[in-house]
Amino acid sequence: MNVALSQPEQLRYARQMLLPELGENGQLRLKQAHVLIIGMGGLGCPAAMYLAAAGVGSLVIVDFDTVERSNLHRQILYQEHQIGRNKAQQGAINLHAMAPDVSYQVVREKVTADNVFSLVSNVDLVLDCTDNIHTRLLINQACVNLQRPLISGAAIGFKGQLLTLPMTVNSPCYQCIYHSTPDDQSSCLQDGVMGPLVGVIGSMQALQAIKYLSQIGSLHQEAKLHRFNAIDMQWQNLALTVDPNCPVCAGKPLRSKDAY
């Protein structure tokens, strides 16, 4: 990849490069970045669109599922005539039409213990846009082992959350906060979700990723949980610490990739 910004790129990203916190150096960092987006649903769609539009150089997008009509109120990357197509593949096609200078790698697979480490090892940052706790724990395990920063989003009903984990030696992981796997996990299928809510959380995931990659703010040092209630438009912001009894990251032997 050519590291310098071309004239069309300078024009395309001119408005964000005016920000002193970003500038041309930050834009170059974005161009050289490799980001993994796991899940191209309600969270992954806006996250991928904003990362591509911002000029992140390479996006690896992972999803085994196909577009359904019931997705379209919140998964805004897809169109009616694309129902039945694989989300990752169709997502890459639609993203390329919007941002052709970005490199897209499509993975049409479920994330499992057999492939999660290879997926995470080749990128600079991971966005967890999945909708089930078992996959989240797999992603967390790989990010801890490989020390890759993780930005995890979730939304159900009118409530959403954003979790930013730098995955440095002394930072907490996902399992520090969520100690057990619930058997009665909520889902959009069972409980419903407000479309713009996942747009808010997915966009915030992209914003945090852009800040991290361009070295804006303190995301490299601080693990934080942000909770959002869309009914009263209130945010709750929590600083996080390591759980000394965490089986994944708290100074204990890390489990192998076959642990789940």
Which residues are designated catalytic? 188
- Residue 80 dihedral angles phi and psi, to the nearest 5°: -55, -45
Which uninterrupted H or E stretch holds 164? strand 159-165
Report the distance separating Cα 122 and Cα 141, nearest Å.
Answer: 15
- CA-nearest of 88, 85, 145 to 111 is 88
Q: Please name the residue ranges forming H helices in the chain.
A: 7-12, 14-17, 23-31, 44-54, 87-98, 116-121, 133-146, 174-177, 188-191, 195-213
Could you tell me which residues come within 8 angstroms of residue 126 by beta carbon, excluding any fewer than 6 positions away?
Answer: 35, 36, 38, 120, 139, 143, 148, 149, 150, 151
